[in-house]
Amino acid sequence: MNIRFYNARILTMDGGYDIIKGELWVSGNKIIYIGDGTDTDRIYESQPENIIKWDREIDAKNNLLMPGFKDAHTHTAMTFLRSYADDMPLSDWLNTQVFPKEALLTPEDIYILTKHGIMEYLTSGITAGFDMYMQMDAGAKAASECGFRYVLCGAINDFGGTVEDCERDYNKFNNMNELISYVYGFHAEYTTKMEIMEGLAALGKKYKAPIYMHNSETKSEVEGCIERWGKTPTKLFNDLGIYDYGGGGFHCVWMSEEDIDIFKQRKLYAVTNPASNTKLASGIAPIQTYMDKDINLAIGTDGAASNNCLDMFREMFLMTGLAKLREMDASAVSAEKVLKAATSGGALSMGLFDADVLKEGKLADIIMIDMHQPNMQPENNIVKNIVYSGSKQNVKMTMINGNILYEDMKFNIGVEPEDVYKQANDIIQRMIRG
């Protein structure tokens, strides 16, 4: 497909926050032109017969094209537990509600529930997810069919998976198709025995690959780790060589100064999950400190069970808002840096080095923000409008890999929304009936 956007404003996020007025052209799964439209000869010249046959020419009507948001930590298929068991602390919630229900999930369930989650991502302009879940074949199939960019994160722990499985998955999913990839990971220190962590560290070394896990989500998690190993999770992982080739941690709420120094030194990603940490009362991550120390940042929703929605606008407001409360400083955590974490930061954290910014040659993972809405006006500062005032209502289009999967509130993912909703309800009802 060749798609031409004209009358657009383009926030490329490529090295700054300037906005270009003009055109953006997509051919196949790549961006082939961004500019004011006066220098397109060079693009035509690269084409057979100097012609581009447009499949669609879209008048952007002065709306904003920008890189899609990246959900850098999520459990996509957990949509079935939305509003099912709320208002409980993390450990009770996991042990009495989440784990017993998850044990009943079939691969077919996960396939449907992943499609459900993907639909929700699209409504929020999320073009890729860094998904930690079971039954990875089911999730990868759902994402491939929908056309969603999907990075699987290893989820091995004491209750499922072996190190050998991880190596097999790494090679399988990284060679599956252009939408799917795989990054090594394990659930968390408190759910994973030393042997597995050491095995993963060895795999990371073998493939020179980054490794991720839940890290310092709650105070009690960190305290437990110190009790068990005499050190924080970050220090433990670092000492084990898990962070030798990068990676990072999900949540990163309760980090010591030494932990943060390790993140800095290893160029690790702190993936913050502000809505989930709020709703589970886990705490507020020290985002301003991370920014002061130039720690790499990305943002995740953590899935619909804990959050309870998959909405990057909520996460962005909370990332800066909670930091302002934590620091008691209204100037903490700038909107610009939040938007960077939500887009290019997320992409880089999950290894999507060509989906970070809008630029000729980069992947066409693009969203259109409807500026003709009251919450986007006046245009005193468009970046701040998006971060402080934006809402799903502003997502006019979500394009992934050159395909428009969501436009004017309609999905184009090869499945009827009502069928997905019906099946999602059936899954949880079947479990409740027992």
Compute the CA torsion angle 217, 174, 124, 116 (nearest 10 deg).
-90
Nearer to a second copy (CB atom), residue 337 or residue 362: 337
Q: How far apart are CA 308 and CA 317, in angstroms?
A: 16
Q: How far is the CB of 332 from a second copy (least distance, A)?
A: 7
Nearer to a second copy (CB atom), residue 120 or residue 356: 120
Q: How far apart are CA 102 and CA 122, in angstroms?
A: 24
Nearer to a second copy (CB atom), residue 181 or residue 308: 308
Q: How far is the CB of 349 from a second copy (least distance, A)?
A: 24
Nearer to a second copy (CB atom), residue 90 or residue 368: 90
Nearer to a second copy (CB atom), residue 166 or residue 424: 424
Classify the phi-psi angles of 177: left when phi > 0, otherwise alpha if psi is within -120 to 50, otherwise beta: beta
Q: How far is the CB of 388 from a second copy (least distance, A)?
A: 4
For the record, the structure tokens of 268 come out as 């690790």
Q: How far apart are CA 186 and CA 196, in angstroms?
A: 9
Contact between 398 and 66 (Cβ < 8 Å):
no
Q: How far is the CB of 123 from a second copy (least distance, A)?
A: 6
Q: How far is the CB of 340 from a second copy (least distance, A)?
A: 16
Write out the DSSP string of 315-362. Answer: HHHHHHHHHHHHHT-TTSS-HHHHHHIIIIIHHHHTT-TTSSS--TTS
Nearer to a second copy (CB atom), residue 267 or residue 324: 324
Nearer to a second copy (CB atom), residue 106 or residue 377: 377
Q: Which residues pair with 10 in a beta bridge?
A: 20, 65
Q: How far is the CB of 301 from a second copy (least distance, A)?
A: 11
Which amino acid is it at 429? Q
Q: Which residues pair with 11 in a beta bridge?
A: 19
Nearer to a second copy (CB atom), residue 21 or residue 372: 372
Q: Which sign does the torsion angle of CA 355, 358, 363, 365 carry?
A: positive
Q: How far is the CB of 158 from a second copy (least distance, A)?
A: 25
Q: How far is CA 94 from the centre of its chain?
A: 22
Within 13 Å of residue 203, how many CA atoms lie on the same side as its CB?
A: 24
Q: How many other β-carbons are positioned within 10 Å of the β-carbon of residue 62?
A: 11
Nearer to a second copy (CB atom), residue 194 or residue 281: 281
Q: Which residues pair with 250 in a beta bridge?
A: 214, 271
* Pairing, β 69-74 against β 211-215: unpaired
Q: How far apart are CA 304 and CA 278, in angstroms?
A: 13
Phi, psi of 361, rounded to the nearest 5 degrees = 95, -20
Nearest alpha-carbon partner for 343 in 48, 192, 92, 125: 125
For the record, the structure tokens of 18 come out as 């300037």
Nearer to a second copy (CB atom), residue 211 or residue 332: 332
Beta-carbon contacts of 279 under 8 Å, excluding residues fewer than 6 positions away, are 86, 306, 307, 308
Q: How far is the CB of 105 from a second copy (least distance, A)?
A: 14
Q: How far is the CB of 223 from a second copy (least distance, A)?
A: 14
Nearer to a second copy (CB atom), residue 120 or residue 169: 120
Q: How far is the CB of 299 from a second copy (least distance, A)?
A: 16
Q: How far is the CB of 281 from a second copy (least distance, A)?
A: 4
